[in-house]
Amino acid sequence: MAGRLVLGGAPLGQPGDVGPRLRQAMADADVLACEDTRRLHRLAQDLEVRFNGRVVTFHETVETSRLPGLVAAMEAGQTVLLVTDAGMPSVSDPGYTLVRAAVDAGIEVTSVPGPSAVTTALAVSGLPCDRFCFEGFLPRRGRRTAFTALLTEPRTMVFFESPHRLADALADAAAVLGQDRPAVVCRELTKTHEEVVRGTLGSLAAWAAEGVRGEITLVVAGAPAGPVDLTPAELAAEVAREEAAGETRKDAIRAVVTRTGLPKRVVFDAVVAAKPPPPTRG
């Protein structure tokens, strides 16, 4: 009789956020696959649960090599419990490859639902959450390209980012999506030093420049419906900000057109009108 794969949602910070089902799953599992064995043992200690199953590491550097052994264990009738350091497996954490392998092998996949930084940040952000998209970790290179692809995304967007790259990421987001786009930085969710900072991308970039620590989840409002209502002076200032960030005049105007939904001629005329008049000869 085939075993099964159980995905266990680990607490983000407070052990009390998970219920008795995870405790039971940890106690009953034949194999416990985890990102970090030290964190697993700490979690077991916090939850006051004793497990007798075999413990194996399962993180991005070893997950491919671990798949055959874990699938073989489930095919032999064993239950494999997969937990990550925090939150639900597979959500920007190891897990997808094992789920896919289990599904392909005809093995049952189930879960013990638990906390998720994505939905927790979205819920406390105060931004629209009836529709949203999760973009995972921002790329280390090409962030502006990634944000450009999301210029017209109407849904609220959720990202993960490391604390030492947050300031640059916010600055890039402000340059592409607009300084005044509403956003929320959620830091250390559910933990002792939890902090939720709301503002605009521009103000948050300035705040983060002083240095930020902890686990970060970034929530950004979607693109406004219809053309953005800006004065000619404000449009010219948007183009100037793009140029200051290194864009050519042509590319800067194109970026503002895409961001605002306004005709190119309107933005171009605003830039021309903002030019100082030539000096007069006396």
Instruction: Give per-residue pLDDT as tens, 149-188.
Output: 898 899 999 999 999 999 999 999 998 898 999 999 999 9
Domain count, the chain: 3
- Kindly report the CATH number assigned to the domain that includes residue 206: 3.30.950.10
The verdict on 177 and 99 lying in the same domain is no
pTM: 0.78
Q: Is residue 131 part of a domain?
A: yes
Domain final residue pick, 59, 89, 115: 115
Model pLDDT for residues 71-121, shown as the tens digit of each residue: 999 999 999 999 999 999 988 788 999 999 999 999 999 999 989 999 999
Reading the block at residue 207, the tokens are 């705040």
Structural domain for 54, as ranges? 4-115
Q: What are the pLDDT digits (tens) for 241-272?
A: 888 878 899 988 988 887 777 888 889 998 99
Beginning with the edge strand found earlier in the chain, give each strand of the sheet holding 54-57 in spatial order: 54-57, 31-34, 79-83, 4-8, 108-112
The answer to whether position 282 is within a domain reads no
258: helix, strand or coil? helix
| Residue 270 included in any domain | yes
Q: Do 15 and 47 share a structural domain?
A: yes
Judge if 51 and 137 occupy the same domain: no
Is residue 71 included in any domain, yes or no? yes
Residue 160 and residue 97 share a domain: no
Last residue of a domain, one of 81, 115, 149: 115
Alpha-carbon span 26 to 19, nearest angstrom: 12
- Angle made by CA atoms 57, 58, 62, in degrees to the nearest 5: 100
Whether residue 8 is found in the same domain as residue 108: yes
CA-based end-to-end distance of the chain:
98
Q: Are 28 and 108 members of one domain? A: yes
Hey, which residues does 136 pair with through a beta bridge? 159
Look up the CATH number of the domain holding residue 56: 3.40.1010.10
Indicate if 107 and 12 belong to the same structural domain: yes
145 lies in the same domain as 191: yes
- Out of 115, 135, 155, pick the residue that ends a domain: 115
Helix (H) or strand (E) holding 187: strand 182-187
Residue 227 lies in a domain: no
Is residue 72 included in any domain, yes or no? Answer: yes
Domain assignment present for residue 263? The answer is yes
The model's pLDDT over 195-206, given as tens digits with 9 standing for 90+, comes to 999 999 999 999
Same domain, 210 and 261: no
Give the C-alpha separation, 6 to 274, whole Å: 62
Say if 237 falls within a structural domain: yes
Looking at the fold, whether 74 and 138 belong to one and the same domain comes out as no
- Do residue 29 and residue 101 come from a single domain? yes
On whether the CB atoms of residues 59 and 95 are closer than 8 A, the answer is: no
Domain shared by 72 and 145, yes or no: no
Helix (H, G, I), strand (E, B) or coil at 59: coil
